[in-house]
């Protein structure tokens, strides 16, 4: 059920206009979430062909990057008991990007949280608070520096590390879909990852208006961001979680403690031309928390909106002109 809300949370506001060209929308399920790709073109056949090719590309990436499959590069790497494995070019690219974002964020984003996801089981029927010893044991295997990148698209894992690209894969797939748009306007929505490219045919000034979900009810929007040729990615504590003794345990882990991040943040949204970067950064910023996250954004030139538990939206300077908080909602811009 959560997944459906998650999908709804990623739906967009499009302003209506006239004289729009033909469009084609494809809806599908991949990478464990609902996805949709819409393409506009003069002829519907062209829009269809681009959307279909993009969908195929996303599906293939899903198969390559998932760790829950018989086949696929990342599953093979995880099953190799520390031996070197030749990855397909995409998997190698994503893994290399993940390692560099992990280094950039000092491990706040860490693509080796798989043992934690398995232990906590968040999003599954078995989700439960594990024993402290089990968390400590899993933590000994979480460290991106256990990923060794080798030449020839090969990689090797050390110290029992297991790769999980769940926090960057959909971003990479958004970029891969956008690369196929052949100059046509394209709107991609892969779970919480949205990409809006080209001139929006439904809006006079060509921009796209993207809704930010209410963390308490992700089917509802509390604000919008206006962008063009950018990806807007959100990570929140409301996507996959369980509650025990009044504490919410969700799917974003602090790799240093092995626990789901606890703090004042409900969601972080990043707008960036590169969706893989936006995806990795939302997760990293969520782990860093508001204060450190804002400082990191200023230092790295990242555009982000942080939603805190006290119903405030904290935005970096770069998004101040693009963010509109809806009237009549229980949220407001932080002063």
Q: What does the alpha-carbon distance between residue 142 and residue 258 come to, in Å, rounded to a whole number?
A: 9
105 binds Mg ion (CB under 5 A): no
Phi, psi of 123 (to 5 degrees): 90, -5
Q: Enumerate long-range contacts of 206-212, CB under 8 Å, 24 or more apart.
A: 208/12, 208/14, 209/12, 209/13, 209/14, 209/15, 210/12, 210/13, 211/11, 211/12, 211/13, 212/267, 212/269, 212/305, 212/307, 212/313
Selected from 173, 194, 252, 305, the binder of ligand ADP by CB under 6 A is 252
191 binds ligand ADP (CB under 6 A): yes
Q: How many CA atoms lie within 13 A of 148 on its CB side?
A: 10
Which residues 56-115 are close enough to bind ligand ADP by CB under 6 A?
Answer: 109-111, 113
Q: How far is the CB of 254 from ligand ADP (least distance, A)?
A: 7
Closest to ligand ADP by CB, 175 or 239 = 239
Q: State the DSSP H helix or E strand holding residue 234, giving kind and residue range, or none if neither.
A: strand 230-236
Q: What does the alpha-carbon distance between residue 259 and residue 249 come to, in Å, rounded to a whole number?
A: 8
Closest to ligand ADP by CB, 33 or 184 = 33
Phi, psi of 209 (to 5 degrees): -110, 120
Picking from 20, 22, 50, the residue whose alpha carbon sits closest to that of residue 37 is: 50
Q: How far is the CB of 208 from Mg ion (least distance, A)?
A: 20
Which residues 260-279 are close enough to bind ligand ADP by CB under 6 A?
Answer: 279
Closest to Mg ion by CB, 227 or 252 = 252
> Per-residue x/- marks for ligand ADP, 153-172, CB under 6 A?
-----------x-xx-----
- State the pairing for strand pair 332-333/312-315: parallel
Residues near ligand ADP (CB under 6 A), total: 20
Selected from 141, 181, 202, 251, the binder of ligand ADP by CB under 6 A is 251
189 binds ligand ADP (CB under 6 A): no
305 binds ligand ADP (CB under 6 A): no
DSSP letter (8 states) at residue 144: G
Closest to ligand ADP by CB, 50 or 142 = 142
- Piece of the chain touching ligand ADP by CB under 6 A; list 248-256, 290-298, 309-317, 323-331: 248-256
How many helices (H) and strands (E) are present in the chain, helices listed first? 9, 17
Selected from 200, 283, 308, 322, the binder of Mg ion by CB under 5 A is 283
- Please give the C-alpha separations between residue 196 and each of 145, 187, 205, in angstroms, as whole numbers: 34, 5, 14
201 binds ligand ADP (CB under 6 A): no
| 166 binds, options Mg ion, ligand ADP, none, Cβ within 5 to 8 A by partner type | ligand ADP
Q: What does the alpha-carbon distance between residue 178 and residue 111 come to, in Å, rounded to a whole number?
A: 24
Which residues 117-136 are close enough to bind ligand ADP by CB under 6 A?
Answer: 117
Contacts of 162 (CB under 8 A, 6+ apart): 67, 78, 112, 114, 115, 118, 141
Closest to ligand ADP by CB, 47 or 155 = 155
Selected from 175, 237, 239, 272, the binder of ligand ADP by CB under 6 A is 239
Per CB under 6 A, residues contacting ligand ADP are 109-111, 113, 117, 164, 166-167, 191-192, 235, 239, 251-253, 255, 279, 282-283, 287
Per CB under 5 A, residues contacting Mg ion are 167, 235, 279, 282-283
């Amino acid at each position: 059920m959560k997944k459906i809300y998650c999908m709804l949370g990623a739906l967009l506001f499009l302003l209506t206009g006239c004289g729009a060209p033909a469009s084609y929308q494809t809806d599908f399920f991949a990478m464990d979430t609902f996805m949709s790709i819409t393409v506009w073109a003069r002829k519907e056949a062209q829009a269809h062909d681009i959307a279909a090719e993009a969908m195929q590309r996303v599906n293939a990436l899903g198969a390559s990057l998932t760790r829950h499959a018989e086949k696929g590069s990342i599953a093979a790497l995880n099953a190799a008991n520390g031996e070197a494995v030749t990855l397909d070019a995409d998997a190698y690219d994503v893994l290399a990007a993940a390692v560099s974002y992990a280094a950039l964020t000092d491990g706040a984003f860490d693509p080796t949280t798989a043992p934690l996801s398995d232990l906590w089981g968040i999003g599954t029927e078995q989700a439960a608070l594990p024993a402290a010893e089990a968390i400590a044991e899993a933590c000994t295997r979480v460290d991106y520096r256990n990923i060794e990148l080798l030449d020839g698209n090969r990689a090797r894992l050390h110290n029992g590390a297991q790769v999980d690209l769940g926090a960057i894969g959909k971003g990479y797939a958004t970029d891969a879909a956008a690369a196929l748009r052949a100059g046509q306007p394209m709107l991609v929505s892969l779970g919480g990852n949205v990409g809006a490219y080209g001139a929006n045919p439904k809006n006079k000034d060509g921009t796209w208006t993207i809704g930010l979900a209410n963390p308490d009810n992700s089917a509802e929007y509390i604000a919008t961001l206006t962008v063009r040729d950018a990806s807007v990615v959100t990570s929140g504590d409301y996507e996959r979680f369980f509650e025990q003794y009044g504490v919410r345990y969700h799917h974003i882990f602090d790799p240093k403690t092995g626990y789901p991040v606890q703090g004042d943040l409900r969601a972080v949204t990043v707008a960036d031309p590169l969706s893989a970067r936006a995806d990795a950064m939302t997760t990293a910023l969520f782990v860093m928390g508001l204060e450190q996250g804002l400082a990191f954004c200023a230092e790295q030139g990242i555009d982000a909106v942080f939603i805190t538990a006290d119903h405030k939206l904290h935005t970096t300077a770069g998004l101040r002109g693009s963010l509109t908080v809806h009237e009549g909602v229980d949220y407001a811009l932080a002063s």
